[in-house]
Amino acid sequence: MRRKIDWEGQIGRRLRFRDLHVFFTVANTGSMTKAATVLGVSAPTVSEVIADLEHALGVRLLDRGSRGIVPTVYGDAFLKRGLAAFDELKQGIRDIEFLADPTVGEIRIGSDESIMAAMLPLIIDAFQQRHPKVVVDVDDIDLRSPPKLREFGCDLVLTRVAGLDSEFGVDLNVQTLFEDELVVAAGLQTRWARRRKIDIAELAGERWVLAGPSTWNHKIIAEAFQVRGLPMPAVSVKSLSVHIRSNLLASGRYITALPHSVVYLNADRFPLKVLPLDLPARAWPVKLLTQKNRTLTPVVERFIACAFDVANAIATQPQARRSQN
């Protein structure tokens, strides 16, 4: 039977955060030499720290192979818990900074591109009017895989990814910020923009700009054509980029499907028109994700409150939005 590790005698009084930082750096770089360069110390110093850690824990944390250094099963467990401990420590320091001066701080947000092109700027602007010295750091992150906020280094994520509540609910707090909807849009100067009613079958021959077949907007458009007994039309341009789609629509030669909030909130920038046609009713919720078992800093809590204020203001004006279409 493996001996029980004496936390108080072996670890608690000897383990330093510097040692953990060295271990994380080696695990991330896959090399003692690279880790030493990043840390600004000698390679023997790094090796000595790792050896001391392994001796104290009584297990091998890293394996040396042809692909470099990789964590063992023990190393993976130590890495996971250690990163969480470091994350909480950083959160604690940020709490102290904010409590010492509530007007300053920093928040890092991960987001889908379609949200960054619509409501996120409104949230940031409203938030910074209240807290002008807080730095807001926004990253466009790939959310096609389970979002791991600690790995991304984000305080929160705004996304339209479906199935988050059931699929990733174990690790994430998932809140619905507001319910968006899919609309079909065209340029203001097109013949479609002057129509009061359109059957989607009439758009079968148009030049469509959509994301790939696995995306929500593509599936809804395909379903709309299927209801009319028609195959999905050929897609001329495949892109998730709101800017690419909006600029192509402005040329007057394309049709696309976008979240209604994107069209509404960019009405002054792009000459676009939501077309009057019926689509299968599917809510497209914008989700706000935070890490479970992670205490939010005061500045993050205030940003979330501001996000809901902005979302509620948008959601309570559906008639005003539609009257502009």
Model confidence pLDDT, tens digit, residues 24-56: 888 888 888 898 998 888 888 988 888 888 887
Lowest mean pLDDT segment, chosen from 23-37, 79-93, 242-256, 282-296: 79-93
Lowest mean pLDDT segment, chosen from 11-15, 20-24, 127-131, 132-136: 11-15
**Which of 50, 57, 93 shows the shortest CA–CA distance to 77?**
57
- Per DSSP, what are the bridge partners of residue 107? 136
- pLDDT band for position 322 (50/70/90)? very low
Residues 6+ apart with CB under 8 A from 230: 201, 204
DSSP code of 206?
S
Residues 6+ apart with CB under 8 A from 22: 35, 39, 46, 49, 50
Q: What is the mean pLDDT of residues 104-129?
A: 88
- pLDDT band for position 321 (50/70/90)? very low
**CA–CA distance, 323 with 223 (Å, rounded to integer):** 27
Using the Cα atoms of residue 91, residue 94, residue 98 and residue 99 in order, give the sign of their dihedral: positive
- Residue whose entry in the numeric block shows the structure tokens 């758009």: 203
What is the phi/psi pair of residue 174, to 5°?
-115, 120
Q: List the structure tokens of 13.
A: 């009084």
Output the pLDDT for position 319.
40
- Give the global pTM: 0.63
- Kindly give the interhelix angle for 73-100 and 298-315, rounded to the nearest 10 degrees: 80
- Residue whose entry in the numeric block shows the structure tokens 């989700």: 287
Give the number of other Cβ atoms within 10 Å of residue 197's Cβ. Answer: 8
Concatenated DSSP letters of 52-96: HHHHHHTS--EEEETTEEEE-HHHHHHHHHHHHHHHHHHHHHHHH
In the predicted structure, residue 201 carries a pLDDT above the cut 50: yes
**CA–CA distance, 107 with 102 (Å, rounded to integer):** 13
Q: CB–CB of 72/59 below 8 Å? A: yes
Q: What is the mean pLDDT of residues 171-199?
A: 87
Helices (H), 170-323: 216-227, 242-250, 260-265, 298-315, 318-323
Of these ranges, 144-148, 182-186, 260-264, the one predicted with the greatest mean pLDDT is 182-186
**Structural domains of the chain sorted by starting position, each given as residue range(s) with its CATH number in brackets:** 7-83 (1.10.10.10), 101-180+285-323 (3.40.190.10), 182-282 (3.40.190.10)
Helices (H), 155-201: 164-167
Residues 6+ apart with CB under 8 A from 107: 134, 135, 136, 137, 155, 156, 297, 299, 300, 303
Lowest mean pLDDT segment, chosen from 46-50, 112-116, 162-166, 220-224: 162-166
